[in-house]
Every structure is written in structure tokens, then in C-alpha cells.
A = this chain, B = another copy of it.
Amino acid sequence: MLKWYEEGVKTDVVVSSRIRLARNLKKYPFPNKLSLEQKFEVIQVISDAILKSGDPSVAGFRFIDMDKISKFDAYAMAERHLISPDFAENGQGRALILSEDESVSIMINEEDHVRIQVMVPGFDLMTAYKRADQIDRILEQHVEIAFDENLGYLTECPTNLGTGMRASAMLHIPALQSIGAVGQIANTVSKIGLTMRGTFGEGSEVKCDMYQLSNQVTLGISEQAAIENLQGIIRQIVERERESRNNIDHDRLEDVVFRALGILKSARLLSGDELLQLISRVRLGVEMDMIKDIGFDVLNTLTFNCQSAALQAQSGGPLDADTRDKMRARIVREKLA
């Protein structure tokens, strides 16, 4: 079965949409107050509720004991945004439920007992929300969730109180980045309850031109309203990005795009940062129909499968930076050949 990012759905500016719901069991303290024994109980309760539900929407979901997989496999999952880096780092008393296509991941005993996350390609927050909500309904049919009439869903961190929902979109905005407009946009959206940040770690946004825009407000607002607010702002940013793209000299843009593709097809050594930067430029070329023979499936797959942990997971052991750079370049060449 293809992973969600391998399906090659055509996207433009909004690479993917994500919904995350934080939920906690009423009968247990938050994870950071749990004994290891209790954590195992929580894992049992939640995984039974979901995996034994028999609901068709969770067919093919599998259970992963985070303490029993290799660190490289765990870090590679973090690189694919299935789990948080902290969840990859400390696996004891933690488990993951994962759909076959990796669009749904459910972290057990992260900051909250349950973190339901749904990712879909493109600009489609409502589809992601509906799928997350469906998992949430299954969960709530079988277990009692910590909920307060006034506050809504109770969460470890007060910033998640209420809906417990974080909706976000991954924005590919190289043109806005190139004219230095991102800082001002980030500043503006922060004043209306949104956050914009880089997606592949500190400083990486400059290289891959990818930003994650998400809602911050979870209290006193419905899920529907929060998503609509976010959608409205995303539409404005998409519009500005498209305008900026059209303002770039076409010859120079083509040159940048095709050079990036030429380097990807030719390089014998590629650092992870350079790969992301070059893929961003090729993605722009594909989005703008300059490049027609490369699909988003290829770009997404290379983005996820060629990061450091993914390479080490594939080779089954630690690799030094030079060896990774060589392996990364080889995989990229073969994929683009």
C-alpha cells in the first residue's frame, strides 16, 4: 500500500494539511505523573479501544511499541512527522498506532495520553479533521475522556485546553522567502492567534522554503471556526506566493529550477540540507508546470527517505556524514534517472 505522500497528489503552495487532537483518559493522571506500570495500562486501554473496535476506519492500523524499535526507525518516523522528536528519543512506556498509509498516527503517552494526528496531501484541512474526529469518536465510545463542561478537553499543557486541536498546513513559499516577506507574515499571523514556523528544525525553513502555519487558540472556539480562520489566512498567503512567483523573471526562475534538477540528477555527494533546498526548487518547477516528468510522489519520497535517520534505518546501522551524503546522492540519482 502506498504511503499518503507517495500517492503523488498534485499540490501547489500548500503541500499538506494536518490535524492533531490531544485527548486524555479521565481515570489516569497525565503521562508525566504516571508510573511505568500505569503507562503500560494506558497503552493497553487505548490500543484496545482503537484496534479492537472493528471499525472499518481503523482497518490495517498497526501497533508499535516504541521501546522495541530501533532508534533510527524512531527518528525516521520523526523525520516523516509521524511522531515528535521527544517521542522518538524516549520510547519507554510509549506506543504508536499507525495506519498503513501513514496518514494517521496515534501517539500514546506523549505529553497527553493520546495524540491523534491525521495528515493529507494538499490544502484539505476538513478531510483531515473528519478522519481525526472519526478516530476520536471510536476512542470515546470505549473509554472515558477527561472533559470539562466549561474548559472542554483537558490537556497537560493549558495551551491545548478546549478543543485540544492543532490544525496546521505545510506551506511551500519559496517566492515569499526570496523577497524576504516571511518574517512580516509570521509577525502578522501571530497577532491573530496563529503561528508560523520552520518544519525541518531550527533554521531549516530558509533552505527548504517550507513553513508550518497552525492555530494557537483552542479555548472558546469550535473546531470548525478554528479551521475556517486558518483556511482564510492560508488562502491569502497562497495568493501572495502565487503573485510573487509571477513577478520573478521567468528565465532566471527556469534556470534556478533546472539547475537544481541537474544537480540532483548528477551529484555524487548531497548533504541533507542541500537536498531539501534543491527539492524545494524542483518542487517549484513542478508546481509551476516547468517540469512535467517528475511527480510529487518522487519529491515527497526523497524528502522523507533521504534524511539522516531514514538512511541509517535503511542501512540498519549508524553511518558517518560522508557515507550518508554518498548514499543520499545515489538514492536521489536512481530515483530521478
Contacts and interface: CB of A to CB of B under 8 A. Distances in A.
A21 to B, nearest CB: 44
A266 B254 CA distance: 10
A329 B322 CA distance: 32
A326 B254 CA distance: 11
Contact of A269 (B252, B261, B326): B252
Interface in A252-273: 252, 254-255, 258-259, 261-269
A281 B265 CA distance: 17
Contact of A263 (B252, B262, B322, B326): B262
A255 B268 CA distance: 4
Q: How large is the interface on A (under 10, 10 to 19, 20 to 34, 35 or more residues)?
A: 10 to 19
A37 interface: no
Contacts of A254: 268
Contacts of A252: 269
A5 B261 CA distance: 31
Contacts of A269: 251-252, 255
A259 B261 CA distance: 11
A252 B263 CA distance: 14
Interface string A300-337: 00000000000000000000001000100100000000
Nearest to A322: B251
Interface in A81-108: none
Interface of A: 251-252, 254-255, 258-259, 261-269, 322, 326, 329
